[in-house]
């Protein structure tokens, strides 16, 4: 058996061990899990509230939300692995515990970049250099960075719509104020079906952006409709908690830190969600089982996938900012891909994804001067969708790609392969048209006088520069639909795509920053993308 050569030097591996174990010195890990987890979540919740208060704009709020979700992964995991199970939530502000929670979250902000770089180096995608106590990549990552920036800047348009853009005219603020009780540094209020229902109605547009797959999709124990209803109900209760804290602090003159995390008993939460959501007891319990942190045999749990944190045998912890920052549909599909009992069902359901993408184009463009064709042709890749304008003799062939947008480097590599495959299939179709492939021309009902261009259309992610082709643009579906809806000429759209006018420009829409991340005595020179615009990037 041939021994695989490690792509990372022994010196860097020793550094990695030290970095991986650095968290163990934090005093928070000496507390029982309930006390440690509550303290971490309470600090993170109040930090998130301050960030949203001091930074405005869709881009800023999207970055804050993404950072929170990414940064909680490691500290919650560290506590879950090391802390003694059980204990009680303290429900009190403690300056020393506050500082240790702050330190652990700061460490996680730095640690995730080391994980990214080391994972890339282990798989041969990045070559690292160690100079003294500084780690840095040997390659230049900044050529073509506009492709990475594109997904970062477009994202808020689709799934990270910020709460200030929701219409709160019907939010039941007065009902919460009437029941609010403030005593010392604690606050409480009463929940009822109407308050929760009214809040769910107000937040409805937000969740319409987060849930895009067919609600009738049926998994082994519940449907996507059931899941959405339960998730919306918990999120509404979480948001009510956040608003109640704001009211208590503004009107009661208190620090609401002690009650910033919603900590219901397990039976209380089950009863309320069944009552408020209208979903059966058995289905709600199944959804709880899936969403509870560390359940279902998940080896490396993540609060993004399982945000219901069980503090002890009797209590859950629900962090409002976490629940409202999540992409629940995306996270559920990632979770199901980790569960053998659900993976096969999910795989069958997502076979329908191309149909839904295609329907998005045909429904949105039904009133335009376009003709649509799709289907198979002998000896060629399928035509996922052709948009044809006979008046201009133009034909745009769309290769449709739907997959879960990547959240870590392993997923980036897998999704990149999908993009490359789509580009290859597009080029085969384009060459066939150039060669006057009769069956394909007949399928499209065009002749050799038509101009034919190709584009890969991805639902969630377009890939980095290393997978791009000068002949085949890659763009997100909602972006291309928006362009097709607002532009009469297919020829001008083709030029817009070929010239890559849909991409952001460095110095205008974003800038590359080069931060240094530090853990202990070790530093990592890396890079980041900082928006120069306030709102979503969506040029038409």
Domain ranges of the chain: 18-212+215-347, 352-504
Model pLDDT, residue 451: 97
Distance from C-alpha of 139 to C-alpha of 129, rounded to nearest angstrom: 10
Secondary-structure percent of the chain, ordered helix, strand, coil, rounded to 5:
50, 15, 35
Distance from C-alpha of 51 to C-alpha of 49, rounded to nearest angstrom: 5
Task: Could you please state the CATH topology (level 3) that the domain comprising 352-504 is classified under.
Answer: Restriction Endonuclease (3.40.91)
Half-sphere exposure for 307 (CA within 13 Å, toward CB): 25
Model pLDDT, residue 337: 84
Following DSSP, what letter does each residue of 200-231 receive, concatenated? HHHTHHHHHHH--S-TT-B-SS-BHHHHHHHH
Distance from C-alpha of 222 to C-alpha of 526, rounded to nearest angstrom: 43
| Phi, psi angles (nearest 5°) of residue 442 | -70, -40
Distance from C-alpha of 417 to C-alpha of 309, rounded to nearest angstrom: 35
Model pLDDT, residue 150: 95
Beta strands in 97-180 (DSSP E): 128-131, 134-137
176-182 contact pairs (CB < 8 A, 24+):
176/240, 176/243, 176/244, 176/247, 177/247, 177/251, 180/244, 180/247, 180/248, 180/251, 180/252, 182/248, 182/251, 182/252, 182/254
Q: What is the pTM of this model?
A: 0.85
Mean pLDDT (10-residue bins), the chain, 540 residues:
72 97 98 98 93 70 78 96 97 96 97 91 86 87 85 67 56 93 93 96 90 88 97 97 94 92 98 98 98 94 96 97 91 88 77 84 94 93 96 97 79 88 97 95 96 95 92 96 95 97 96 95 93 86
Model pLDDT, residue 188: 96
**Dihedral over Cα of 209, 214, 216, 220: its sign:** negative
Q: What angle do CA 317, 319, 321 make, to 5 degrees?
A: 175
- Residue 236 token pair: 């509404």
Distance from C-alpha of 121 to C-alpha of 43, rounded to nearest angstrom: 33
Instruction: Decide: 335 and 307 in contact? Cβ < 8 Å.
Output: no
In angstroms, how far apart are the furthest CA atoms of the chain? Answer: 81
Instruction: Decide: 318 and 261 in contact? Cβ < 8 Å.
Output: yes
**Alpha helices per DSSP H over 337-463:** 340-350, 353-364, 409-434, 438-444
Distance from C-alpha of 482 to C-alpha of 500, rounded to nearest angstrom: 16
Distance from C-alpha of 517 to C-alpha of 511, rounded to nearest angstrom: 18
Q: What angle do CA 9, 15, 21 make, to 5 degrees?
A: 135
Beta strands in 312-393 (DSSP E): 316-317, 371-375, 383-389
Other Cβ atoms closer than 10 A to 466: 12
Q: Collapsing DSSP states into helix, strand and coil, what is residue 374?
A: strand
Distance from C-alpha of 301 to C-alpha of 135, rounded to nearest angstrom: 28
Distance from C-alpha of 502 to C-alpha of 499, rounded to nearest angstrom: 8
What residues pair up with 399 in beta bridges, in sequence order? 456
Distance from C-alpha of 68 to C-alpha of 321, rounded to nearest angstrom: 8
């Amino acid at each position: 058996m041939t021994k695989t050569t490690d792509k990372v030097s022994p010196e860097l591996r020793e550094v990695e061990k030290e970095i991986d174990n650095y968290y163990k010195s934090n005093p928070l890990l000496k507390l029982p899990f309930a006390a440690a987890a509550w303290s971490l979540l309470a600090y993170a919740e109040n930090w998130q509230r301050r960030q949203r208060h001091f930074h405005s704009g869709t881009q800023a709020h999207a970055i804050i939300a993404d950072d929170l979700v990414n940064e909680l992964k490691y500290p919650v995991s560290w506590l879950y692995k090391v802390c003694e199970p059980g204990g009680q939530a303290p429900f009190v502000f403690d300056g020393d515990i506050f500082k240790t929670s702050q330190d652990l979250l700061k460490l996680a902000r730095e640690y995730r970049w080391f994980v990214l770089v080391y994972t890339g180096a282990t798989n041969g995608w990045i070559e690292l250099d160690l100079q003294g106590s500084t780690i840095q990549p040997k390659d230049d990552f900044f050529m073509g960075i506009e492709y990475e920036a594109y997904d970062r800047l477009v994202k808020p348009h689709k799934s990270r719509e910020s709460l200030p853009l929701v219409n709160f005219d019907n939010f039941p603020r007065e009902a919460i104020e009437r029941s609010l009780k403030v005593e010392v540094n604690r606050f409480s209020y009463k929940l009822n079906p109407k308050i929760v229902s009214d809040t769910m109605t107000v937040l409805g547009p937000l969740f319409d952006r987060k849930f895009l797959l067919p609600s009738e999709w049926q998994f082994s124990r519940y449907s996507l409709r059931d899941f959405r209803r339960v998730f919306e109900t918990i999120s509404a209760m979480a948001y009510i908690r956040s608003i109640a804290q704001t009211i208590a602090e503004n009107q009661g003159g208190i620090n609401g830190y002690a009650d910033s995390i919603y900590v219901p008993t397990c039976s209380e939460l089950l009863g309320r969600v069944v009552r408020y959501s209208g979903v059966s007891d058995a289905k709600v319990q199944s959804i709880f089982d899936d969403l509870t942190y560390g359940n279902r045999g998940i080896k490396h749990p993540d609060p993004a996938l399982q945000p219901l944190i069980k503090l002890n045998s009797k209590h859950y912890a629900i962090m409002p900012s976490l629940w409202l920052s999540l992409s629940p549909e995306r996270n559920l599909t990632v979770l199901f891909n980790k569960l053998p009992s659900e993976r096969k069902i999910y795989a069958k359901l997502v076979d329908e994804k191309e149909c839904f993408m295609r329907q998005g184009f045909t429904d949105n463009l039904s009133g335009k001067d376009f003709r649509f064709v799709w289907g198979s042709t002998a000896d060629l890749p399928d035509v996922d969708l052709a948009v044809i304008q006979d008046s201009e003799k133009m034909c745009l062939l769309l290769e449709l790609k739907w997959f879960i947008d990547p959240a870590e480097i392993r997923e980036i590599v897998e999704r990149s392969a999908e993009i490359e495959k789509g580009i290859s299939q597009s080029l085969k179709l384009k060459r066939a048209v150039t060669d006057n492939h009769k069956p394909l021309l007949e399928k499209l009902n065009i002749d050799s006088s038509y101009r034919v261009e190709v584009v890969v259309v991805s639902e969630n992610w377009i890939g980095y520069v290393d997978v791009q082709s000068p002949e085949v643009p890659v763009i997100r579906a909602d972006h291309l639909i928006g362009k097709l809806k607002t532009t009469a000429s297919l020829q001008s759209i083709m030029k817009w795509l070929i010239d890559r006018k849909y991409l952001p420009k460095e110095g205008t829409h974003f800038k590359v920053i080069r931060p240094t991340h530090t853990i202990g005595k070790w530093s990592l020179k890396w890079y980041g993308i900082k928006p120069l615009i306030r709102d979503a990037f969506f040029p038409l």
